Structure formats: structure tokens, C-alpha cells
Structure 1
Amino acid sequence: MRNMHWLVMALVALALAGGVLGWSQWARAAEPQGAILPTAATTTAAPASVAPEGNPVVAVIPGRTDTDYEQDPFETHRLRRSITRVRTLIYVYQDGTMEQRDVR
């Protein structure tokens, strides 16, 4: 019985390895030849109205949020849902400066 367990484990491992190898070969074959993949230089980080020239935004973090909770009327110890609204955003620029703006 113990040998059967190891045999099944070996077959499963072999099947998984074969699936991974087969999938990677299929994925490489499915990729169009000569495809131009996007790089960091070809993508835009933020709209021009937000990012000053030469100092792009690298992160946007919620600053102030308001959360409303709705209690479940049938099970009073549980919440039915919660809704979180973002009121302000903090823009972090490449040089480390931060700016807080209200959400429209």
C-alpha cells in the first residue's frame, strides 16, 4: 500500500512537470514573431495635467476615506456591507515630494 502511494505521487509529479513544460512551449509558440512588447520607456505614467514635466507621479495613495457600514437586520452581530469612499488622494512624485488633492 505504501509503494502504491509513492507511485501515485510520482505519476502526479511527472504529469505536473509535463504540463508545465508543455504549457511553456505552447505559450512561446503562440506569441507572435517580432512582437513589440511594451517597456517602461514606451508607457505613460500619469496624465500631463497631474505630472509636472521631469517629475512624474510614481504612486497615488488614498489620503482620507469615509466608510459607511450597514448592519445585517437578521444577524445583528454581522455586517451586511460596507462602502468606502476616497475623499483625498496623495500623489507621490519621483523626487519624493507629495501633494494632497481632493477627489472631484
Structure 2
Amino acid sequence: MLPHRANADVKLAGYDVPKGSNVLVWAIARNPAVWKDPLEFRPERFADEDVDMKGHDFRLLSFGAGRRVCLGAQLGINMVQSMLGHLLHQFRWERMSRVDLFIAYPSINPLC
């Protein structure tokens, strides 16, 4: 996710964020008060929830929000559906053998 810049001094979750600070909004999509099991990869959660993907619902910021929402949001949504349809139609899909997809991310500043 791209960083955003605070355009005013604000207090956020008990922290002082000075004007000009870079802010990452990654945590919004991982808030347990908003999403059940937010750290699990469950794309179907968006099918079950009434979430506006076009920038009016601040629980999901795929295309930004507010006045600066992405102008190509609807095109992007339509293209993904079209590409997925083409992929499903053009290829023969079969289940692979079990693959371990675990990836370990090293800590930038390890605690010990």
C-alpha cells in the first residue's frame, strides 16, 4: 500500500501524528473490530459483507477513498472479471500435489 502524508497534526489511536508524517493505512484492513479473523486470507469475506469497493466504505481501500478515489476503479473491477473469465475458459485446470507455501519474513529489527 502506498504511504499517505498527514496534512494536519492529528491524534490517531492515542498517538500524536505530526503534520507531514508518512502514514501507512495497511492496518485498516486488519482491524479485528471491523473484520472477523483479519489476518487470515479469506477473500470470500468481501462477498459476505456489504462493502462498497468504489471508495465510499473506509473498511476497504483498494482504490482509495473520498475525493481522491481512483478514477479507473470500475474499469479495474471489470477487467479482473473479464481476465478471470478468459483464464477459466482458455486453460484446463487441475489440482496440484500438496505444495508448502509457507514463507518466512525476517524481521528488519529483530528483538533478540
Verify same fold: TM over 0.5: no
Q: Could you state the TM-score of these two structures normalised by the residue count of structure 2? A: 0.23
Q: Could you state the TM-score of these two structures normalised by the residue count of structure 1? A: 0.25
Q: Higher relative CO (CA 8 A, sep ≥ 6), structure 1 or 2?
A: 1
More strand by share: 1
